[in-house]
Amino acid sequence: MNVSRRTNSRPLNALRMIAGVAVMALSTVFVYRALRLFSFDPDKLGRYFSFKWIIMGHVLGGTVALFTGPFQLWKAFRVKYWRAHRIMGRIYLAAIGAGASCALILASTTARSVGWPYALSLHMLATVWLASALLAWRTAVTKRFKLHEEWATRSYIATLAFVVQSFSFEIPFVAGLGAFAEVSPTIMWFSWTVPMFAYAVSRATRA
């Protein structure tokens, strides 16, 4: 039976490895593109220039969360390097705290110029991003490690939502649906609600 379980887990582990590499690759491209926001050139930032420090805080926080998250979810790493896991967990939480707080500020200011549906969707995503990370921390502190793992996964799904949104607008079908102000709120909702639902279904089927 043990041999059978190991055999069955190999394809799943391989799939997880492929998914992890894909996530890191897409995150790298996403961050590279976001570096243009670190410009202090008013012509490049336009109406966002007066919020350049908020934008930098959001991008930096998201970047740290994107690249530390996979290590937090990597079971073998957690077991072997549990002290590093705890330290990186604090860094991950601080990064999301900074990134989400800046996102909420942007949702209340610059996002309103796009439209209230876009601003509302950004508000909700930033809130879910921050709340799920805080719940992951809380369940770890109270030693409810099964719940901790689940909430950590949800927080990383919310982290990846920003990457999903960015690449979604490059899909010809999505680009042809309408203007950014019309399409972006729906894309933003889909970027985290659909993966969250899929994760919930996977948890239920394995229970």
187 close to 174: Cβ distance less than 8 angstroms: yes
The predicted pLDDT at position 12 comes to 59
Residue 119: both structure tokens together: 């601003």
HSE on the CB side for 144, CA within 13 Å? 11
152 close to 136: Cβ distance less than 8 angstroms: yes
CA neighbor of 100 nearest in space, from 138, 62, 136, 72: 62
186 close to 117: Cβ distance less than 8 angstroms: no
DSSP state of 1: -
> Which residues of the chain are modeled with pLDDT < 70?
1-14, 16, 39, 207
What's the pTM?
0.85
Greatest distance between any 2 Cα atoms in the chain: 65
DSSP state of 41: -
CA neighbor of 62 nearest in space, from 7, 116, 103: 103
φ, ψ at 64 (rounded to 5°): -60, -45
